[in-house]
Structure 1
Amino acid sequence: MKRLFTPIFSLSTVCLLSGCLSVPHPFQNDGKMSKGSVANAPTSRLDVPVPEDTSLSPEGRKIWADQVTQALLDQSVPAIAQKPRKGDWWLKLRTEERGDMIVPLYSVMTPQGAIRATEEGPAVPTVLWKAASPETIHTASQQGAGQVVNVLTGIMAEDMEEDPHSLKHRGAKIWFQGVTGAPGDGNISLARAFTVSFRGTKDTIQTSKKDADFMVATTVKITDGPAGSRNNPQQNIRIDWRVTDKDDKEVGIATQLHDIPAHSLDQMWGDVAVAAADEAAGAVEEMITRYSSRDAKPLPDPTKPAKDKK
C-alpha cells in the first residue's frame, strides 16, 4: 500500500474548499443578548436604506442600494434593502467629491445610529458616477460590499475577543460522524486516521453532537475508470469531507479526487488512509478557521482610548 501514497494523495490531490471564504456572522442571536454585543444583536439583518446622497438621481440611489444589498447577500451577509428598523444594524451609503472624482463611502451603523466604521471605495470619475451606468454602479457595489464584509468580520472578531467562551480562546469541538461508502476497511481506517490527525491541535474530535461547534461527515465513492493498458484497469476515487456548523449550515467541503489501480483498496487502506485523513484534517481546520473568523483581527473601537485598542 505504501506505493500508492504519493500518486494518490500527495501532489495529485485536488481539494475543493467550497464555502471557505471568511464569512462574518455578526448578527446571529444565540439568546444571550448581552449588552453591547455585536454577535448577539437583537435582529439577524443588516439594513441598507436608499441613500440621500445627491451625487446620484433618485433612481440611481435605489440602484446603488439594491446592488450593494445583493453583493452582500452573495457573501452570506443577511442584508435587506430597507429603511433602518429599530434594533437593526444598518449600512449608510454616501459619497465625497474630490476634484473630478467621486469616492463612495460605506459606514456600518449601530442600532443607536453611531458610526462603527467607515470604508472608502475606489474613486470613480465624476462623469461616470453621475451617469449611473449599470456597470459603474455594479462594480462599485461589489468592491464596497467586500470592504463591508471585512469590517463586519473585524467587529465580530472584537466581540469574540471579549467573550472568554468564543473560539478565539478555545479549540473547536468537532462531532465526527464517521465515514461511509469506502470499500475494504476504508470506513474504519479513514475514521481512525482522521481522529488521530487532530491530536496535538487546539481542536477536539468527539463522537457525540452534544455541545459540538461543527460537524464533519465523510463519504467515499469509487467508480470504474478507463480500461487502461496491459490489462491495468483504473478506478476513480472521490472522498468528500463535508463540514457544517451547529445549525447544520454548510461550512464547506474538502474533496479528494484521483485515479487508482482497480480494486487496490478493496481490502486494506494502510498508508493511503493516513495520507488522505491527514490532508483532510488540515482542510477542515482551515474551513473552520475561515468560517468562524477566529484568527481575524479585531476592528479597533473608535469609542475607546488608543491604549485600550492594543
Structure 2
Amino acid sequence: MSFSRRAFLAAPLALAACGPLPQPFRGRPGEVARRLARPPGYRVAVMPGAGVLLTDGDAETLSRAVAEALAGQEIPAVSGEALPLDWRLLLAAEREGGNVVPRYALRDADGQALGMLVGRPVAARDWAEGGEAVLRRAAAEAAPNLATLLARIDAQRRTGDERATGSGPPVLRLIPVRGAPGDGNRSLTARMRERLAGFGFAVQDQADGAQYAVSGQVTMAPGASRAVQRVEIVWTVSRRDGQDLGRVLQLNEVPAGSLNGLWADVALVVAEEASGGIRDVVMNAGGFAGPAAAPAAAAPR
C-alpha cells in the first residue's frame, strides 16, 4: 500500500513594517534587548474551572471577557480549548464573607504552575446576578496585572533558556498519535519521531522549550465496498503563539481489518511520506535558517 498522496497548506507569514518615528536605539539594542524585543513567545488559553461559582453560560462569558481584556493588553489570548503549546489560565473563585474573590492560576502547556493572581473582591450577589457587565468589569480590572505577570514570566524564560531565544535546531513537541487501531498510535509516533529527528529537529515529548508542535489524528471509515476501509491521517503543525501553520493530509484505502494489529512497515511508509511535508511547513514558517535544512538529505529511510 502507499500513502503517496499528500497535501500541505502553509499559512503565509505577516511582516510588520517600522514607521517613520525616531529610533535612537535602532541597531544597538543590547544583549538582553535582542532576546526580548519580539512578540510574546506564547499564547494563553483562558479556561473556566469548575469552582468559578457561576452558571456554565456566565463562566463562558467570563472566559471570553478575560481573553478579550488580555488581547487589549497585547497578550495573545483565546477563550476555550487549549492547543498543545498554549499556556492555560484557569479561572476560579472563592467565597470570603459576603464577597467572591476571583482567582487566576497560570500553568504552562505541561501543567506546571507558573503563577497566580488574586482579583478584586466582588459582592457575592453581584457575582451571581450581575451578568455580563459585572464579569467584564472584573476581567478589565485583572487584565493589567495578568499582563504584567505574564510579561515577567516570559522575560525570565527568554533570558534563562537558550532554546527559547531561537538558537540551535528547531525544537518540536511530538504529540502521541490518536485514533489508530491496533498498535498504530505507538508505531506511527515512534516512526515519525525518527524521521523528524533525521531532518534536524530536536524532538521532545514535553511542551516546555518547544517552538512547534505536531499532532497526528487517524480516522478510519468504511470504504467503497465492504472489503476495504478508508484511512485518513492528518498531521497538524502549530506554533507556540497558537498559529496553525499547516496540515499534512494522507488518504488511502486498505483491506478491511488489515490495520487492526501491527502496523509495521505501514507506519514507516506513512512517516516517510508525511515527515517531508511537516518539514516543509516549518521551513515556510522560518523554522530553519537557510543551510540548516541540509540534514534532510540524510534522513533515515
TM (normalized to structure 2)?
Answer: 0.46
TM (normalized to structure 1)?
Answer: 0.45
Q: Which has the larger radius of gyration?
A: 1
